[in-house]
Structure 1
Amino acid sequence: MEERVCANCFRPLGPGNFCAYCGYDNSIDIAEDAAPLRRFSRLRGNRYIIGRVLGIGGFGITYVAQDTFAMDRRIAIKEYYPSGIARRDIWTQQISFGNYGNEYNIGLRRFEREANMLAMLRGGRAASVVQVYEFFYENGTGYMVMEYIEGHSLKELARARGGRIPYDEAYYILKELLKALETVHSEGVLHRDISPENIIIQPDGRLRLIDFGAARTAQSTGLTGNMIMLKPGFAPPEQYDAAGNQGPWTDIYALACTFYRLVSGVRVPDARERIQGQRVPLLHLLMPETVPEEVSNAIEKAMTLDPGGRYRSMSEFMEAIGTPDAPEGNEREGLIDRVKWIFKSVAKVTVLETGKTKSLKRDDVITVGRSEGCDLITMDNAYIGRVHCRIYFDADVQAVKVECTSINGIQTREGRTVNKGEAMTLYDEETTLCLANTESKIRVVYQ
């Protein structure tokens, strides 16, 4: 019998579905309409083993994978799979595209071109860009093999901190991204999809640009059609026009909108709404005690609707916001420490009768109940709710809370009952709770 392995880290998987090494719940699956490759499928002969889905976009599915020809290192593989066009045969895994052959092939050629562009940017001065190792065709589609990047997106970082990032950290991030994109542009490549979710901060504090799915060279490619997915609030007006005048100023607009969103917690209105007259408050008026007026003015110019009114290069943008030099080492170290603190586990939650455990992070919510959809599943007892309770970290009180969602309540050792709709704050280092006066108990231990 073949040994079971985790679909995230590829290490041996013991009884149950939770990985003892990385904590991944291997019972998590993707909706059928997404039609990803089967887990542990092999590509390129037997070289690449497909693991869990990392993300699904309008034009592709990204997987974590294992490279058996390179000491079993973890990698990421992006599969060209345009939503609404591609269909997968569940038995052969071959891709078909019906009557959309022209659109499919145009997009596939762009996808290959993206891989070739990123491969040319590998390492050196372009170290902030995700590295691409190779591109190949299989199953009637294309696959891009990339490095697997550990870390969290700026979107996750902002969410974990209540929706926004302190100005000094966002300013440091902006300067680092300006330098990274200046290098990318110097190679004749535009990103065209900059947003908080496409910027990763690694455990060592380095920032990495990912998902160049809309990337293109600054020169004409001879390809037609406007097959790109735009993010409202980040895409400038020229990206809504197939003949729009795109250049470095296109990425400048998106980067400025990203900074605005990170600092203020407010998303810039869609470019089409702005054309209709919707205004964007100046950052220094929105946050007068935090954002200097000169930086606010630079961001305003970078977000100008008319491409001709924006900065023409990242170096111009850098000059406008201040010195582009790297910050003092302690500033970067401080950011690294805060990122580690935000995303580290704050508690472990265990269902005592099964021994199943899940780590709780500051931006997590753990559901407990008898439904298979819960993060932690209890005994199958009718008195226990399908989702009996929710466990989460409350940043306002800096403590874990347990919210009851069942009419049968939660009982403490001291005899207190937490009724449906109520939440209990856990202050003790270790707390054991009884669900619905049954033998099913959960234990929450701070770490």
Structure 2
Amino acid sequence: MDTTLTDPLVGKLLDGRYRVESRIARGGMATVYLALDVRLDRTVAVKVMHRTLAEDPAFVRRFIGEAKSVASLSHPNVVHVFDQGTDGGNVYLSMEYVPGRTLRDVLRERGRLPAREALEVMIPVLAALGAAHQAGMIHRDVKPENVLLADDGRVKVVDFGLARAIEATNQTRTGVMIGTIGYMSPEQVTSGSADARSDVYSAGIMLFELVTGHQPYEGETPMSVAYRHVHDTVPAPSSLLPDIPPLLDTLVAQATARDPALRPVDATALLVAAVEAHRTLPRDSAPVAGQAGGQPTGPTGGHTAAAGFRQPPAAPAAGGVNHTLIQPRGDLLTGPAADPHPRPPAPARRGFRPNWYLVALAVVMVIAVGVTGWLFSQNTTIVVPVLTGKNVNVAQSEARALGFLVEIGKPENDEKVQKGNVIRTDPIAGTTVDKQSKIVLFPSDGPKRVVVPNVIGMTEAQARSDLARVTLTVDDVKKQPSNTVPRGQVMRTVPAVGNRVKEGTKIDLLVSAGLVAPDLKGMPRDQADALLRGAGFVPEFVEQTDAAQPCTVIAQDPQPNAEIDAGATIRLTVSLCNNPQWHWPWEINNSVPGDDGGDVAQPLAVVPNVMFKDVKAAREELRAAGMKVTVRKGLGRGRVLAQRPPGGQQVPSGTQVTIWH
């Protein structure tokens, strides 16, 4: 019977917006439907979480938070999340609909992929993971079921943050593993912790499977597979299939190191290595497509993959290690289950009866050789002294004085040993050698430092990639308006470009926000007009009756500091220019009360003309003339572009003068 016909959501209008057309797939945590967004008239994939999860308040809160984070992740290789909501007991996500197949479908059909083709799939996957890592997100469940291959050739990664949302449910607790055993990193198995390097490990396992057709570990139970992730080293793919290029062995080994500290720091770092490997591989270094380990596989036909749909493998190995599951960790440190096929006991050795004559002869020969060696060794051997930590020139002199032939080795980086001092010797200290033996002294080259690359003028993404290539990471990104640097380009780095810094140093980027609207409120009309036209903008003026000074800007659109394009039109509302009833305050009453109750005239001063002067010098000149000064940002070029009251006006001492730069 068609289960779609019996699904209560098919044909319904979900949340007053999504008309559910059909059911695409049903998994362990959610059901995916093809739906029409009636508000925007577009086809979407709607993932509805199972009721057991939707009834858990902790899950719903975490689910909503993760949905917001994923929705903010805009990347061409990530399935876009459009909307999130609840409708009664249904908690759902509205996502981009991707017609095509999962990577699992392709593996089931073809068995394994040629090396170049496997990298062409992995590169967009790593790009998506890298974008997520740099946004502070971890996938936690990287596997072929979560990679979609669209009919138009695009590669999309799905289900970011879902495993993290599951961690918030009452169904989980300390000592529980969440994820897919076949791709789970050792730290996820043992402690449940995951970071960007855990995704890198899973990606390495997936690359192994793409080029060999098999996962590296198989077992009768998920726990036996988990044990091997913790205790075994992933074999080189070429150890299974010799035609796999060594470059792929290196990539897999780096990504699947059991110690997270030995893996690339995030997917972007692995992406750089994968791109370089793809560039280096010869174009004809590919096995015959459609075979896995020499076994031909048959096609399965086309499948439609929607966002969030996990297509189960045809024959899951190791008790379902390809499925996302919640599984007790168990005692993984005590070893796997007992071998069901114990080895037969070794046969007992036959008795041995020594030939005492030969034994005695051997003892005499050993003693004779020992005595002879001792006689010849007198005053002909020396012990390698402790030279580490000493200046290499001092160590060289000491070694030569003892009778060594000294050679200076290649300097090595060291964070603790001062540059020019000896890090190690070969042979090591305490070794007894013949006189005139060679000893190699390896001097310290000081701490390893890398040069901050020149990323000025690059986009943020390009800068991140170049920094990751030299093991540097981006810490903070700040935006600053600029009239000269196009929006989105890097203007400056902290530490600055060219500085030598430690590996792993975090770099701050200052990125251009492009042109922004100047703050013109309160500026005289003629000065505002000149300022805008000089900067390439088009001013439009509308006069309005107002109590402000005549011909003065009282409002503007766009607002100050709003991002605008070059040549944009800026609309200014100004007060009437012929308002005879308006006067400067001091023109109405230029006096202050005196001690005797009468009025005393305020001293007047002439406002200096500071137009086009340096802002700092202008401020000092105005203050010296007895004025109070307010500085406002116009185009931010460091020189005065407008002032009010204008230069040459007589005003009472202490009058507020506003300047724009």
1:170 is displaced (CA, Å) by 0.4
Residues 54 and 174 of structure 1, relative CA distance in 2, 3 Å threshold:
same
1:263 to 203, 211, 217: 211
Give matches, 1:401-440, under 5 Å: none
1:327 is displaced (CA, Å) by 11
Q: Conserved in 2, the CA contact under 8 Å of 1:80 and 1:111?
A: no
Q: Which residue of 1 aligns with 2:2?
A: 28
1:194 to 136, 142, 146: 142
Give secondary structure in 2 for the equivalent of 1:189.
Answer: coil
Residues 141 and 240 of structure 1, relative CA distance in 2, 3 Å threshold:
farther
1:308 is displaced (CA, Å) by 2.5
Residues 296 and 274 of structure 1, relative CA distance in 2, 3 Å threshold:
same
Q: Which residue of 1 aligns with 2:260?
A: 307
1:115 to 67, 81, 89: 67
1:285 is displaced (CA, Å) by 1.8
Q: Conserved in 2, the CA contact under 8 Å of 1:79 and 1:143?
A: yes
- Alignment TM-score, normalising by the size of structure 2: 0.39
2:45 to 56, 72, 76: 76
1:57 to 19, 22, 27: 27
Matched, 1:133 2:107: no
1:110 is displaced (CA, Å) by 2.1
Q: Which residue of 1 aligns with 2:515?
A: none
Deviations 1:406-446 (A, max 9, x none): xxxxxxxxxxxxxxxxxxxxxxxxxxxxxxxxxxxxxxxxx
Q: Conserved in 2, the CA contact under 8 Å of 1:37 and 1:50?
A: no
Q: Which one-letter code corresponds to 2:2 in the other structure? A: I
Matched, 1:39 2:10: yes
Give secondary structure in 1 for the equivalent of 2:180.
Answer: coil
Q: Which one-letter code corresponds to 2:21 in the other structure? A: G
1:180 is displaced (CA, Å) by 2.1
Larger Rg: 2
Q: Which one-letter code corresponds to 2:86 in the other structure? A: Y
Q: Conserved in 2, the CA contact under 8 Å of 1:214 and 1:229?
A: no
Residues 228 and 145 of structure 1, relative CA distance in 2, 3 Å threshold:
farther
1:284 to 208, 225, 238: 238
2:181 to 209, 223, 232: 232
Q: Which residue of 2 aligns with 1:206?
A: 154
Q: Which residue of 2 aligns with 1:165?
A: 113
- Report runs of 4+ in structure 1 exceeding 6 Å deviation: 220-224, 324-328
Q: Conserved in 2, the CA contact under 8 Å of 1:294 and 1:321?
A: no
Q: Which residue of 2 aligns with 1:8?
A: none
Give secondary structure in 1 for the equivalent of 2:91.
Answer: strand
Give matches, 1:323-342, under 5 Å: 323=276
Q: C-alpha distance in 1, partners of 2:139/2:229? A: 23
Residues 76 and 327 of structure 1, relative CA distance in 2, 3 Å threshold:
farther
Q: Which range moved further: 111-120 or 313-322?
A: 313-322
1:179 is displaced (CA, Å) by 1.9
Give secondary structure in 2 for the equivalent of 1:230.
Answer: strand
Q: Which residue of 2 aligns with 1:342?
A: none
Give matches, 1:82-101, under 5 Å: 85=52, 97=55
Q: Conserved in 1, the CA contact under 8 Å of 2:137 and 2:161?
A: no
Deviations 1:388-418 (A, max 9, x none): xxxxxxxxxxxxxxxxxxxxxxxxxxxxxxx
Q: C-alpha distance in 1, partners of 2:279/2:63? A: 34
Equivalences, count:
281
Deviations 1:354-396 (A, max 9, x none): xxxxxxx94149xxxxxxxxxxxxxxxxxxxxxxxxxxxxxxx
Give secondary structure in 2 for the equivalent of 1:49.
Answer: strand
Q: Conserved in 1, the CA contact under 8 Å of 2:216 and 2:234?
A: yes
Give secondary structure in 2 for the equivalent of 1:53.
Answer: strand
Q: Which one-letter code corresponds to 1:66 in the other structure? A: L
Matched, 1:252 2:200: yes
Matched, 1:296 2:240: no
Give secondary structure in 2 for the equivalent of 1:323.
Answer: helix
Q: Conserved in 1, the CA contact under 8 Å of 2:163 and 2:178?
A: no
1:322 is displaced (CA, Å) by 5.0
Q: C-alpha distance in 2, partners of 1:160/1:298? A: 25
Deviations 1:297-326 (A, max 9, x none): 221231123323322122332344451788
Q: Conserved in 2, the CA contact under 8 Å of 1:235 and 1:254?
A: yes
Q: C-alpha distance in 2, partners of 1:206/1:324? A: 21
Instruction: Give the aligned CA root-mean-square deviation in angstroms.
Output: 3.6
Residues 202 and 140 of structure 1, relative CA distance in 2, 3 Å threshold:
same
Deviations 1:192-245 (A, max 9, x none): 11111111111221110012253559xx9999955874212112132235x543
Q: Conserved in 2, the CA contact under 8 Å of 1:199 and 1:210?
A: yes
Residues 277 and 248 of structure 1, relative CA distance in 2, 3 Å threshold:
closer
Deviations 1:314-361 (A, max 9, x none): 233234445178899xx9xxxxxx99xxxxxxxxxxxxxxxxxxxxx9
1:113 is displaced (CA, Å) by 1.8
Give secondary structure in 1 for the equivalent of 2:182.
Answer: coil
Q: Conserved in 2, the CA contact under 8 Å of 1:190 and 1:215?
A: no
1:38 is displaced (CA, Å) by 3.0
Deviations 1:127-175 (A, max 9, x none): 11111111111122421111111111111111111x2222221011122
Q: C-alpha distance in 2, partners of 1:282/1:324? A: 16
Q: C-alpha distance in 1, partners of 2:301/2:168? A: 44
Q: C-alpha distance in 2, partners of 1:325/1:297? A: 13
Q: C-alpha distance in 1, partners of 2:94/2:128? A: 22
Q: C-alpha distance in 1, partners of 2:130/2:279? A: 15
Q: Conserved in 2, the CA contact under 8 Å of 1:199 and 1:208?
A: yes
In structure 1, list runs of 5 or more residues that go unmatched: 1-26, 87-94, 98-103, 332-337, 340-360, 366-447
Q: Which one-letter code corresponds to 1:260 in the other structure? A: F
Residues 155 and 222 of structure 1, relative CA distance in 2, 3 Å threshold:
closer
1:190 is displaced (CA, Å) by 0.9
In structure 2, list runs of 5 or more residues that go unmatched: 284-288, 291-297, 303-661
Q: Which one-letter code corresponds to 1:111 in the other structure? A: F
Q: Conserved in 1, the CA contact under 8 Å of 2:85 and 2:91?
A: yes
Q: C-alpha distance in 2, partners of 1:240/1:60? A: 24
Q: Which one-letter code corresponds to 2:82 in the other structure? A: Y
Matched, 1:144 2:144: no
- Alignment TM-score, normalising by the size of structure 1: 0.56
Q: C-alpha distance in 1, partners of 2:92/2:76? A: 22
Residues 57 and 240 of structure 1, relative CA distance in 2, 3 Å threshold:
farther
Residues 173 and 142 of structure 1, relative CA distance in 2, 3 Å threshold:
same
Q: C-alpha distance in 1, partners of 2:273/2:101? A: 29
Identity level (%): 27
